Structures are given as structure tokens and as C-alpha cells.
Amino acid sequence: MNKSTKNEQMSKNEFLEKVARLYYILELSQQEISEQLNIGRSSVARFLNEAKERGIIHFQIHSDWDRWRSPSLERTLLKRYKLKDCVVLRSENQSGNSFEALVSKYLNTVLPMEGSVGLGWGKTIHAIGTQIYLCDPRPKLKIVQLTGGSGAKEELMPTTSSVQLWAQSLQSKSCLLPAPAIARNAESRNSFLEDYSIKEVAEQIKKVSVGIVSIGHTGEDSTILSAKLAPDLTSEMLSARSVGDVIFHFFNEKGEFSYPSLSERVVGCTTEQFRNIPIRIGIAYGMNKVRAISGALKGNIFHVLITNDETARMLIGK
């Protein structure tokens, strides 16, 4: 960076700081700031957002469960991956609260009271469902199943049961997808989507405002292989082009969806529809998930990451 560019950068930062102070410290309205600085009102909002992105503005929200979190690790991950939020829970929890119970406490602060929430599959999502009763009731909320289920192998890949558990605990409505998670081929998937009951849920998926999913990996014990949801796949085939998946859409180390021929067989939310969900929350932890989580973060697949401190340290190389 040359001297001229550096001075321009400093000047811009000073201007953004001025806008931020007028708005947050002096509590001027955006209209008042636009008049005082002779800029458009829409520009004020844009400058405030830019100030947040540059780290000039920091928000700190205190809660009664901060002692169970690792704020320094959260700040590092937030800055490195430009997340909207990050929750890093301490592995050594002296209070006796489980990871799932603490996740539920956090979700109570971000889940909408009405509208629809899309739910992925997996044992982590199901385990959180056993504690989600800690959240306030949301009778106007709909819990939507993002992908089909595994039929008789529900114990290996809880999907339908997770949606029912979350909906019952939140006193919400459930929206179930009566189809297999992965069809034999793209043509079979398209045939499933022609069914009226499935088509109805597919429309609900498009309206989801918050998506909550776990992050899968590509090892031999991955769900897609252990549950034999796609008998033609092997760990070698998955690992050759991917490091992990969200709702069976596999992505590479850059966070790019990298297995289109498999994604075309997934019955439910498409990669494009998933990207269009306004708030996407990923929940995962463990050594076998580090590469997958890292890829997802690099590709901005999530807005919010929930993990534990051991996993966070591996993600940032500490």
C-alpha cells in the first residue's frame, strides 16, 4: 500500500468513525446525519454497514450465560470469516449445562416468533431438539423439513423425528417432507417433486427465513455412507472432490458446492435455495469436522457458526 492510498484509507476510516459516533453516541437519526454531512440518507446506512465490516463498530451483547462462552475465539472467527455471529462454547462446563442446552439458550435469542424455520438432519440437530423446550413457545412459527428422510434408518439420520421434536417443544407447526433424502437419479427426484404433498412442502422451503443445519464430513462413518442413502457412493468418491456437506450438498475446501450430480438427486432444498435463506446457522464440532467447517466458512455458506472451543482453536490454528 503506497503513502497516498494509506492516507485515503485513514481519511475514509475517520469519516466512517464520524458517522458512527453521530449515530450511536450522539443518537442522531439517519436523516439528521444526512443533513449535517450533506449526504443521502441511504448513504448513511451504507456507511454504517461499512464501518461494521471494517471493524470500526463493535457490538457486545451481555447475557447471563457469557461465562460459558469463549469471547476471544469468537472475535477471531468473526473477524477472519466475516460472520454475522459466532458462538464458541467452552468444553469444560462447570455448570453442568450440556452443549445442546446452551445452544438452545442462544437460539431463543435469534429464532423468529412467527414465519418459518428450516431444519436439517443429524444427531446434533436431534440432540438440540431434546433441549429446545428451554426456548419460549412459538405457536405462530412453522418448522420446515429441508430434505427428505431416511425411512427405516431414522435412528442413524434423524430428520422427520427432529422436526416433530422441535415443533412439539416450541409449540409450533411442523411441515414434513414425505420423501427419501436422496433419489436414485435426477429423474427420480423430479418425479418425487411432482407429487402434490411434496410440491407443497417444496414451496414452504422457499419461504424459510432461518435455516439451521449441521455440517457433515466425507469419512467412512459419514451419515450418507453409514446409512447407505446412496449405495453407489464411497468415501473415496466423496473425498476426491469434497470436504463436507450441508443437507447432502457437498462442498470443497473453498466452500464451493462441488458434487452437482449428487445435489441433483437431493429431494428438498437446492443449493440455490439454501444460499437464498436470509439467516443460515451451522452447528458442528469435533476433529473430524474441522476441514468441513473450515470449507463452509471460507465459502460463506453460513452467517452464524456454533461450535466448541476445542474445534475453534483448530480452525484458527492455535
Confidence of residue 150 (pLDDT cuts 50, 70, 90): confident
**Bigger pLDDT: 96 vs 149:** 149
pLDDT of residue 87: 94
Q: Say if residue 60's pLDDT is above 80.
A: no
Q: Say if residue 241's pLDDT is above 50.
A: yes
Q: Give the mean model confidence (pLDDT) for residues 258-276.
A: 97
C-alpha cell at 173: 407447526
Burial 127-166 (b: 16+ CB within 10 A, else e): bbbebbeebeebeebbbbbbbbbbeebbeebbbbebbbbb
Q: Give the mean model confidence (pLDDT) for residues 168-197.
A: 94
Q: Say if residue 5's pLDDT is above 70.
A: no
**Bigger pLDDT: 155 vs 136:** 136
The pLDDT tens digits of the residues spanning 8-42 come to: 554 888 899 899 988 987 888 999 899 989 899 89
Q: Say if residue 143's pLDDT is above 60.
A: yes
pLDDT of residue 158: 87
Lowest-pLDDT range of 85-94, 170-179, 180-189: 85-94
pLDDT of residue 141: 97
How large a percentage of the chain has pLDDT more than 90?
Answer: 70
Quick one: CA torsion of 96, 100, 105, 108, rounded to 10 degrees? Answer: -160
Q: Say if residue 271's pLDDT is above 70.
A: yes
Domains and CATH numbers, the chain: 3-53 (1.10.10), 66-316 (3.40.50.1360)
Q: Say if residue 286's pLDDT is above 90.
A: yes
The pLDDT tens digits of the residues spanning 70-108 come to: 999 999 999 899 899 999 999 876 455 689 999 999 999
**Bigger pLDDT: 11 vs 300:** 300
pLDDT of residue 1: 47
Q: Say if residue 129's pLDDT is above 70.
A: yes
pLDDT of residue 62: 65
Q: Give the mean model confidence (pLDDT) for residues 259-276.
A: 97
The pLDDT tens digits of the residues spanning 189-232 come to: 999 999 999 999 999 999 999 999 999 999 998 889 988 889 89
Query: Quick check: 309 and 73 in contact, CB under 8 A?
Result: yes
Whole-number mean pLDDT of the chain?
90
Q: Give the mean model confidence (pLDDT) for residues 134-142.
A: 95
Q: Give the mean model confidence (pLDDT) for residues 168-185.
A: 95
